[in-house]
Amino acid sequence: MPLHTESVAARPVRNEHYLSPNGLFLIHYDNSGTHAVPQNFTFDPVIPDYVYSAARYLEDSYYVLRDSLGFRSPPIDNSTSPEIDIYFKQSDMYYGQTFFDQEVEPGVWTSYIELNSNLENASVFYTTGLQGLMVTCAHELFHVFQLGYKYRNSDVFYFEMSSVWFEEFMYPEINDYHSYFTDYITRWNYAINHSNLYYNNVGFNFYIDAHYSLPENNVILAVWEQMIDQNALNAIRYVLTDRGSSFENALSNWGTAQVLCSPYASDDFLYSFNDAGVLQTISFSQYPDHILTDRSATISLSASPMVSYYRINNMPNSLLSFEIVFPENTYANLICLDSAQSRVYPAGNGPVFIDGNRYSDFVLCVGTDRSNTSGSYSFSVIESNIISSLYPNPVTEGQTSYIEYILTRDHAIGNMALYDLLGRKIFSRPLKASELSAGAHQLSFPALTYPLSSGLYIVMLQTEDTRLTKKMTFFK
């Protein structure tokens, strides 16, 4: 469904014409010959189904783009005949194409659409028949809207990934985008704007739409509004920063969602796609150099901005500490693989503690927005009991506190307590057997319901032969 940018001598000529119900589109078609549409008349005795249906798919998509999402109406090519022209044409390659027509101001174009007159061949088209026509109308019409913003050669990737996103937004029951996901899972090690990913990287738009769109302020619309004055990459950077995130963070989290598809899909996972259970996880079949077995290694990303993946296998069946070192403008998640119980740890802000008895295989998902990115990771075996985390810290009145700790072996007895700096016990509770077994644990405790003064306190976790402490700051 590409944009067609080269000069065209003349528009197609067709024998029949149909004006859409609300007068937005003039559809040109043939009933016989090379470009004839299928002669089925389910909905109207004289208007073929392809033509009748296209008119409605196009108008429905137009109103969603303009009225629901808030995109600007596309420029018109003829004030006396303002309809957008649609031509049916037989093709063995394309669902449809959008053609540049007149440049009304620098980078702003009127355009027209060619739709395939026969989408019945399942060996050529992933989605066939009227369902194929449905998503094609949405896809190509969004190109018409996009050309009313600003066209740059460098932005073609965002034209296509936005149009694939809108197919799914408009018709979520069709799932034509699954074909692009299938391609992505085996060919992913490219910059997001690389021509190999023009369609396949649509998952990035799904992710940012799900996580950064606001009521009455869709994030994809916000990017397009910024593209009037700057290229797509800079527009994405601007919008994500404005919404409290960054390009590299969104890249890494999008990549995490791509990993957490079948067989690792989890309905409860923060980053999951709607269809994660039927989509496949990332494959490393074409990237054997991204499969690592060393406890520590240096890794480099080949392009920017991009997300890349490293599968780390066969780590020790022990309690592990994981750390990474990467430069600025790089963000990483460590994904611990365990079917639908997989877990994600944001990496890079100090060590991450992992139960290697449960997880032995991992994927490191790295997003970067800088050139020549390289960094390192390391796993090390934890030899002694530790309190790995106390959060939030500082903590304020009314907040629940959580303590994460790791025990290297089973213990028979233990308790958790809170002390002030004079050694007075404020709170204590015994630990259950399940909380004293070897492995990683998390507890919450109600100390903050006690009448405390602002200041420093000591959290203590004690077993029959271990005493672990961590300072906690409390503010009233």
Query: Measured between alpha carbons, how far is 292 from 312 in angstroms, rounded to an integer?
Result: 5
In a domain, 368, yes or no: no
How would you classify residue 455: left for phi > 0, otherwise alpha for psi between -120 and 50, otherwise beta?
left
* CATH label of the domain that carries residue 401: 2.60.40.1930
Is 185 inside a domain boundary? yes
| Of the candidates 74, 52, 49, the residue with the CA atom closest to the CA atom of residue 62 | 74
- In which order are the strands placed within the sheet that holds 306-312? 291-292, 306-312, 362-368, 330-336, 343-347
Query: What domain count does the chain have?
Result: 2
**In this structure, is residue 301 part of a structural domain?**
no
CA angle in degrees (0–180, nearest 5) for 196-225-255: 40
* 3-class state of residue 86 by DSSP: strand
Residue 351 lies in a domain: no
The model's pLDDT over 285-309, given as tens digits with 9 standing for 90+, comes to: 999 999 999 999 999 998 999 999 9
Q: What is the pLDDT of residues 55-103, one digit of tens each?
A: 999 999 999 999 999 999 999 988 888 999 999 999 999 999 999 999 9
Q: Which of 230, 257, 279 finishes a domain?
A: 230
Residue 354, token pair as written in the block: 């992992």
Answer whether residue 127 is part of any domain.
yes
Mean predicted lDDT score pLDDT of the chain: 92
CATH number (domain holding residue 194): 1.10.390
Query: Which of these three, 210, 230, 250, is where a domain ends?
Result: 230
Q: Which of the pair, 266 or 218, is modelled with greater confidence?
A: 218
State residue 450's pLDDT score: 63
With respect to residue 42, please indicate whether it lies within any of the assigned structural domains. Answer: yes
What is the Cβ-side half-sphere exposure of residue 20, based on CA atoms within 13 angstroms? 22
- Pair type for strands 296-300 and 374-381: antiparallel
| pLDDT of residue 416 exceeding 80 | yes
Distance, in Å, from the CA atom of 357 to the CA atom of 338, rounded to the nearest integer, reads: 11
- Containing structural domain, residue 468: 386-475
Is 315 part of a structural domain of the chain?
A: no
Q: Tens digits of per-residue pLDDT, 222-270? A: 999 999 999 999 999 999 999 999 999 999 999 999 999 999 987 666 7
Segment holding 63, helix H or strand E: helix 49-63
Task: Using the 3D structure, point to which of 230, 249, 284 is the last residue of a domain.
Answer: 230
Asked whether residue 167 is domain-assigned, the answer is: yes
